[in-house]
């Protein structure tokens, strides 16, 4: 999963990014409103964490422009304590949730994970697909109740597929959600990791659709 963090305080943005990466996300940072608007419209994100008090272009205006341009990704706004007017303005502009400063970093991660699950149509924290289970809060994937020994990249790939079971996911879509803005998107690496995952979770659970992508099936073939 990939997130955009929009926060002009470099220390706080770094702390949020570190917490999100610990929670299984790939994180990009925008330090002002203009940069945030551009990145939101040109890159692919699963969730955005948006501070409202930004220099230049305010966070509310960034969100308003995103929604006006058809960007529907979930947005978690960051507001000052007790400033109810900011929360109301944020929700009216199209925000999905909010966190009040000062906040616990794990709260932001949990709220972001919840928004991503809901956007994919999942209500529960543990996703299932046949014998597989994915605890989105702990970042643990199991088969038949036993935790799998997966690398961080393997977990990100399989985790994304488990958010979209039964649907064809192209290599391009996977790369857009697995790499940050500064990384080279390597399709060959994805193919290699898919091969490793098949050996770890069992053949038949990840199906290749030639020329289309990959499908996570509910039961092995």
User: Based on the domain organization, do 186 and 96 belong to the same domain?
Assistant: no
Q: What are phi and psi of 173, to 5 degrees?
A: -60, -45
Return the CATH number at 196: 1.10.10.10
If you average pLDDT over every residue of the chain, what do you get? 91
- How many other CB atoms are found less than 10 A from the CB of residue 52? 24
User: Based on the domain organization, do 90 and 135 belong to the same domain?
Assistant: no
Q: What is the mean pLDDT of residues 87-98?
A: 91
Residue where a domain terminates, one of 95, 120, 145: 120
Burial of 183 (0-12, 13-18, 19+ CB in 10 A): exposed
Please report whether residue 221 resides in a domain.
Answer: no
Joined tokens for residue 47: 């969730």
Return the CATH number at 68: 3.40.50.2300
Q: What is the mean pLDDT of residues 155-181?
A: 91
User: Based on the domain organization, do 15 and 112 belong to the same domain?
Assistant: yes
Beta strands in 7-74 (DSSP E): 26-30, 47-51
User: Based on the domain organization, do 10 and 111 belong to the same domain?
Assistant: yes
User: Based on the domain organization, do 158 and 87 belong to the same domain?
Assistant: no
User: Based on the domain organization, do 152 and 60 belong to the same domain?
Assistant: no
User: Based on the domain organization, do 59 and 114 belong to the same domain?
Assistant: yes
User: Based on the domain organization, do 202 and 158 belong to the same domain?
Assistant: yes
User: Based on the domain organization, do 101 and 71 belong to the same domain?
Assistant: yes
Q: What is the mean pLDDT of residues 140-147?
A: 93
Question: What total of structural domains would you count in the chain?
Answer: 2
Please report whether residue 110 resides in a domain.
Answer: yes
User: What is the spatial distance between Cα 60 and Cα 133, in angstroms, rounded to a whole number?
Assistant: 37
pLDDT of residue 221: 43
Q: Specify whether the CB–CB gap between 221 and 170 falls below 8 A.
A: no
Q: What is the mean pLDDT of residues 204-218?
A: 89
Q: What percent of the chain shows pLDDT beyond 70? A: 97
Joined tokens for residue 206: 């990840």
Give 178-210 pLDDT, tens digit per residue.
Answer: 888 877 777 888 899 999 999 999 888 999 998
**Do the bridges between strand 2-6 and strand 47-51 make them parallel or antiparallel, or are there none, so unpaired?**
parallel
Confidence tier at 154 by pLDDT (50, 70, 90): very high
User: Based on the domain organization, do 25 and 95 belong to the same domain?
Assistant: yes
Please check the confidence at residue 5 and state whether its pLDDT lies above 90.
yes
User: Based on the domain organization, do 91 and 172 belong to the same domain?
Assistant: no
Q: Which residue has the tokens 């900011």?
A: 86
Residue where a domain terminates, one of 68, 88, 120: 120
Burial of 77 (0-12, 13-18, 19+ CB in 10 A): buried
pLDDT of residue 116: 93
Range of the domain at 23: 2-120
Q: Is the bond leading into 83 cis (omega within 30 degrees of zero)?
A: no
Q: Specify whether the CB–CB gap between 26 and 3 falls below 8 A.
A: yes
Q: What is the mean pLDDT of residues 38-44?
A: 94
Residue where a domain terminates, one of 72, 103, 120: 120
User: Based on the domain organization, do 115 and 171 belong to the same domain?
Assistant: no
Q: What is the mean pLDDT of residues 148-163?
A: 93
């Amino acid at each position: 999963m990939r997130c955009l963090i929009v926060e002009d305080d470099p220390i706080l943005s770094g702390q949020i990014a570190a917490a999100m990466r610990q929670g299984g996300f790939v994180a990009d940072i925008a330090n002002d409103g203009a940069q945030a608007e551009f990145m939101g419209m040109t890159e692919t994100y699963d969730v955005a964490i948006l501070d409202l008090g930004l220099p230049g272009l305010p966070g509310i205006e960034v969100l308003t422009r995103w929604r006006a341009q058809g960007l529907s990704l979930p947005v978690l706004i960051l507001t000052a304590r007790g400033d109810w007017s900011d929360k109301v303005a944020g929700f009216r502009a199209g925000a999905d949730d909010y966190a009040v400063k000062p906040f616990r970093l794990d709260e932001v991660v949990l709220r972001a994970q919840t928004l991503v699950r809901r956007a994919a149509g999942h209500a529960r924290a543990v996703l299932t697909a046949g014998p597989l289970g994915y605890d989105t809060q702990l970042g643990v994937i199991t088969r038949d109740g036993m935790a799998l020994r997966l690398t961080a990249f393997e977990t990100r790939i399989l985790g994304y597929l488990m958010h979209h079971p039964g649907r064809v996911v192209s290599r391009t879509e996977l790369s857009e959600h697995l790499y940050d803005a500064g990384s080279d998107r390597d399709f060959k690496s994805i193919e290699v990791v898919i091969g490793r995952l098949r050996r770890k979770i069992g053949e038949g659970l990840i199906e290749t659709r030639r020329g289309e992508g990959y499908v996570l099936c509910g039961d092995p073939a």
